[in-house]
Amino acid sequence: MLTINYKLLNFNDGDKLLDVGCGEGRHVIHACLEHNILGVGVDLSLRDLTTASERFAPFASYNSKSQFNLQQTDATKLPFADNSFDKIICSEVLEHIENYTCVLQEIKRILKPNGILAVSVPRAWPEKICWKLSAAYHQVEGGHIRIFNAQHLREDIKGLGFEFTHRYWAHALHSPFWWLKCLCWDRQDNSWLIKLYHRMLVWDLMQKPWITQTLEKLLNPVLGKSVVMHFRKDDIS
């Protein structure tokens, strides 16, 4: 399940992509399979990186023109040289980090002039409902510590020397699912409705039926759980 629209990243052969907070690797793995790039995923969780490595292993020879690397590191102290990546993804990460501006400054430092940055965070109003329905939703270890106002985040990033280029929303069908999970937080494992909804999401992910794909496209501007913004680093930054 991808949050970032890769068509807007305009990959070129040989590009270097960094996925900051890659988790289990969904974005960086897909990019390396579909494009002739060097993809690097970084995360603080060794367990997630191990899962990402295991997920990539069966496809290691799928695209001989791409390279895939993973590294455990702190997003506020990225161990890369200035101006070293052509594209950077930071998807569903900043809401977990106390000093998120430090992460953005690090991203600016290592992104090449005219490089593309794609950032996604939970959309404010669906996220507020989750917080209202369950305190545990955002109080779990490593959980969300803030709700972003997308316009404020956009201005924060622009203020660092980025040009805003695109905005869109994703995962509309996931908003009601998370509301249900939050409503039944202490008994979600026994909820037949949550299990049924989850089966529908898996069906949508694996089979991509036209009915759910079309429905989500129509609902994303209204109900999308994530807001995604793309930026281009100023060539004089």
Number of domains in the chain: 1
What distances in angstroms separate CA 81 from CA 50, 67, 106, 108, 202, one per listed residue? 25, 19, 10, 11, 40
Tell me, yes or no, whether 192 lies in a domain: no
Is 94 a member of any domain? yes
96 pLDDT tier (thresholds 50, 70, 90): very high
Q: Is the pLDDT of residue 236 over 80?
A: no
Instruction: Decide the pairing of beta strands 67-72 and 38-43.
Output: parallel
The reply to whether 33 falls in a domain is: yes
Q: pLDDT value at position 138?
A: 87
pLDDT above 80 (res 19): yes
Q: Can you tell me the mean pLDDT for 153-174?
A: 98
Model confidence over 184-194: pLDDT tens digits? 999 988 999 99
Q: Residue range 98-125: average pLDDT?
A: 97
Rounded Cα distance between 222 and 227, Å, is 11
CATH code assigned at 45: 3.40.50.150
In whole angstroms, how far apart are CA 39 and each of 23, 36, 55, 69, 187? 14, 9, 15, 6, 39
Burial of 218 (0-12, 13-18, 19+ CB in 10 A): exposed
The amino acid sitting at 180 is: L
Q: Which residues of 80-109 are buried (b: 16+ CB within 10 A; e: fewer)?
A: beeeebbbbbbbbbbbbbeebeebbebbbe
Evaluated on CA atoms 70, 72, 76, 77, the torsion sign reads negative
The answer to whether position 130 is within a domain reads: no
Q: Which pTM does this prediction carry?
A: 0.95
Do the domain assignments include residue 147? yes
Q: Pairing relation of β-strands 162-170 and 226-233?
A: antiparallel
229 DSSP β-pair partners: 119, 167
The whole-chain average pLDDT of the chain stands at: 96
**Mean pLDDT across the stretch 216-222?**
98
pLDDT in tens, 117-161: 999 999 999 999 999 999 999 888 888 999 999 999 999 999 999
Asked if the structure places residue 212 within a domain, the reply is no
pLDDT (0 to 100) of residue 118? 98
pLDDT of residue 235: 82
201 found inside a domain: no
Across 4-24, average pLDDT:
97
Dump pLDDT digits (tens) for 63-89.
999 999 999 999 999 999 999 999 999
Within-domain flag for 45:
yes
* Residue-level pLDDT at 237: 57
Extract long-range pairs of 222-225: CB within 8 Å, 24+ residues apart. 222/172, 223/126, 223/172, 223/175, 223/176, 224/123, 224/126, 224/168, 224/169, 224/170, 224/171, 224/172, 224/175, 225/122, 225/123, 225/126, 225/127, 225/169, 225/170, 225/171, 225/172, 225/174, 225/175, 225/178
27: containing domain: 6-123+135-171+221-233
